[in-house]
């Protein structure tokens, strides 16, 4: 209920959060001060570091962008690794390199999914600079940080800000009046801004393309249009913006009953008792239900397609950095 009230004010026509302006002014002052202090301390990363994040709360699709960038870097001959905070995980010994025997409850859903899907070193550590050192011990020559724009203590060479093409930057105000983690002008200081769809003043667009249905129990893959998904069908999503997933299913012509869960929700079997026989979910949800999945649970595998112009300029930036290192 509270989340819905804030979303109406942040992305809709409600203006009740304006009464919280003094808190927003204080928040903006603290954030600007922290960033200014961090910038005054000259930092250099021991390895090329790319930060993929956002300046809004909630989901913007940055994890598929991380996947796309890591796959691109591998094709270019790099040895990439990923650093993550590990939100939602129980791990309390850092830095932690994700291993095959790890569980999603220990690592958190996003790092677990990234390690499983990309087969590259993934380290979780709230102190990202320390985690990067652990990655370098694995032979990594370039690091992608999943989130971390606001982790000012971490040196970075390239900043990529991901924006939701539907919700944009909301009312343009910082928390709690608006959805911004940092003041609006922060977007002008990053190297690249990517939007899922057309957003004013955003140069690079990307889109999500459903790749396949993956059976959560057996890992069987089927083409997107091959499943009989009419009628007895439920869709769940425990991500930052569940409606985005539901919109994707509607665009595919799927008829379903939706049920949204909090981001990083820890699923149990009771969550599925009142659902339809066929249950659809995101890949992020799938890693958390694999232990009790049945054969009618399917995850939609998504690919992020980025502009060729972006890849060209991104490669140019990497070449410049490599030249500086040389």
pLDDT digits (tens, 9 = 90+) for 263-300: 989 999 999 999 999 999 999 999 999 999 999 999 99
Does 326 score more than 90 pLDDT?
Answer: no
Say what the pLDDT of residue 230 is. 66
Say what the pLDDT of residue 267 is. 96
Q: Tell me: domain 2-206+306-325, CATH 3.40.50, correct?
A: yes
Say what the pLDDT of residue 42 is. 72
Cβ neighbours of residue 199 closer than 8 Å, sequence gap 6 or more: 163, 165, 168
pLDDT tens across 180-236, in order? 999 999 999 999 999 987 776 688 999 999 999 999 999 999 999 888 776 689 999
CA distances from 108 to 81, 147, 284 (A): 17, 14, 10
The candidate with the shortest Cα–Cα distance to 278, out of 259, 301, 298, 292, is 298
Over range 238-263, report the average pLDDT. 92
Give the C-alpha separation, 144 to 252, whole Å: 32
Give the C-alpha separation, 217 to 107, whole Å: 20
Asked if 162 and 64 count as a contact pair (C-beta separation under 8 A), the reply is no
State the virtual CA torsion across 112, 115, 121, 124 in degrees, nearest 10. Answer: -20
Binding-site annotation, residues for ATP: 56-63
This prediction's pTM:
0.92
Say what the pLDDT of residue 325 is. 63
The residues spanned by each domain of the chain are: 2-206+306-325, 209-304
Does 38 score more than 80 pLDDT?
Answer: yes
Alpha helices in the chain (DSSP H): 2-11, 21-40, 62-75, 104-107, 109-118, 128-136, 242-251, 283-289, 308-325
CA distances from 251 to 18, 158, 209, 285 (A): 36, 34, 11, 20
Both tokens assigned to 306: 């980025």
């Amino acid at each position: 209920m509270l989340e819905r009230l804030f979303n109406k004010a942040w992305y809709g026509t409600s203006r009740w959060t304006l009464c919280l302006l003094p808190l927003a002014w204080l928040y903006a002052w603290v954030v600007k001060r922290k960033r200014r202090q961090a910038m005054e301390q000259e930092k250099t990363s021991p390895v090329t570091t790319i930060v993929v994040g956002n300046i809004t709360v909630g989901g913007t699709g940055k994890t598929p962008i991380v996947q796309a960038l890591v796959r691109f870097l591998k094709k270019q001959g790099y040895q990439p690794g990923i650093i993550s905070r590990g939100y939602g995980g129980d791990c309390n010994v850092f830095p932690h390199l994700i291993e095959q025997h790890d569980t999603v409850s220990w690592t958190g859903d996003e790092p677990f999914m990234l390690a499983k899907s990309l087969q590259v070193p993934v380290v979780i550590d709230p102190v990202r600079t320390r985690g990067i050192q652990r990655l370098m011990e694995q032979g990594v020559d370039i690091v992608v940080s999943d989130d971390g724009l606001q982790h000012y203590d971490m040196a970075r060479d390239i900043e990529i800000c991901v924006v939701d093409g539907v919700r944009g930057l909301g009312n343009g105000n910082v928390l709690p009046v608006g959805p911004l983690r940092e003041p609006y002008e922060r977007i002008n200081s990053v190297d690249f801004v990517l939007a899922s769809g057309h957003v004013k003043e955003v140069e690079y667009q990307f889109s999500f393309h459903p790749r396949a249905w993956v059976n959560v129990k057996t890992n069987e893959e089927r083409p997107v249009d091959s499943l009989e998904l009419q009628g007895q069908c439920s869709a769940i999503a425990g991500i930052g913006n569940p409606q985005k997933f539901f919109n994707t299913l509607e665009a595919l012509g799927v008829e379903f009953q939706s049920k949204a869960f909090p981001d990083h929700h820890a699923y149990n079997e009771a969550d599925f008792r009142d659902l339809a026989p066929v249950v659809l979910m995101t890949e992020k949800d799938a890693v958390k239900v694999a232990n009790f999945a049945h054969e009618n649970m399917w995850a939609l595998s998504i690919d992020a397609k980025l502009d060729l112009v972006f890849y060209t300029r991104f490669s140019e930036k990497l070449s410049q950095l490599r030249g500086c290192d040389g």
